[in-house]
Amino acid sequence: MSERLVNKVIWITGASGGIGEALARELAAAGARLILSARRHSELQRVRDSLNNASSHLLLPLDITDSQAVNSAVQSIQQQVGGLDWLINNAGISQRALIVDTQADTDRRLFEVDYFAQIHLTKQALPLLLADGGGKVVFISSVAGLVGTQYRGSYSAAKAALHLWANSLRAELYEQGLSVATVFPGFVKTNVSHNALTGDGSPLNQLDEAQANAMSAEQFAEKTVKALLNNKNYIVVGGLKERLGALMSRLSPELLYKIVRKAKVR
């Protein structure tokens, strides 16, 4: 099935580490041509050097919250590559602060990165994705966007908003051939908690215990790519607790709320 990815042009944001890097490895191994974006050029270079057919992949350093830079990036893809088959919106930032301790600027920063920047980039990329009869847009949301837990109030809200915007995008552009998938990771062993914002906007700078014992980014990438190739659009990837939480959010929200109140998530 992975043969379907040979020479597919796939743009991955947040590709300098963690889930983004693991997805890049998985997709490159299957023969895809990648466009790798993140803010840190040196880390993007490191990732590209580790991939199959390294010279075939394009580095496009980018801060997704810079609208003008995003517009220029899309123009660069059109000029240098000519088209785009998949867009994987993976860049993002998490939160580790109670609602009452989170400053308004931190709330806004979370929404700017995890929602507004994502939808702006997607809108700009749509002409390239639709040019050949339809492409695929993938949003990396979170189980937190389905469940909502302590210490992640605005992060959960932004990821939930992204999920519902993706649903609308799927409905509106289905007839034009666009495929839209949303992935809901549970705990994955990455540095996401190190970079998570505390109430005043500073990074947490420590690894959560749940993440330290979670599935690897490589396991996540393998499961995710397999589901995408099977044309799944609602993809929950995580341990048993996260998968049950996602299921209960749809079948029994009231019971889920009771469980979440008693859960230890820090």
Report the share of the chain in percent with pLDDT over 90. Answer: 92
Report the share of the chain in percent with pLDDT over 70. Answer: 100
Question: Residue 155: left (phi > 0), alpha (psi -120 to 50), or beta?
Answer: alpha
pLDDT per residue as tens digits for the range 110-143: 999 999 999 999 999 999 999 988 899 999 999 9
Is 155 among the residues known to form the active site? Answer: yes
Q: What is the DSSP string of 151-193?
A: TBHHHHHHHHHHHHHHHHHHHHHGGGT-EEEEEEE--EESSHH
Q: What is the CATH number of the domain that holds 215?
A: 3.40.50.720
Q: How many CA atoms lie within 13 A of 153 on its CB side?
A: 14
As for how many domains the chain has, the answer is 1
pTM of the predicted model as reported, rounded to 2 decimal places: 0.96
> Which residues have C-beta within 8 Å of that of residue 104, sequence separation ≥ 6?
none
The boundaries of the domain holding residue 83 are 2-262
Element (H, E) at 85: none
User: Cα angle at 144 between 94 and 181, to 5 degrees?
Assistant: 95
Residue 1 predicted with pLDDT over 70: no
pLDDT per residue as tens digits for the range 62-115: 999 999 999 999 999 999 999 999 999 999 999 999 999 999 999 999 999 999
Indicate the residue type of 205: N
- Active-site residue identified among 115, 151, 155, 174: 155
Residues, the chain:
266
Tokens describing residue 117: 């920047």
pLDDT per residue as tens digits for the range 177-195: 999 999 999 999 999 999 9
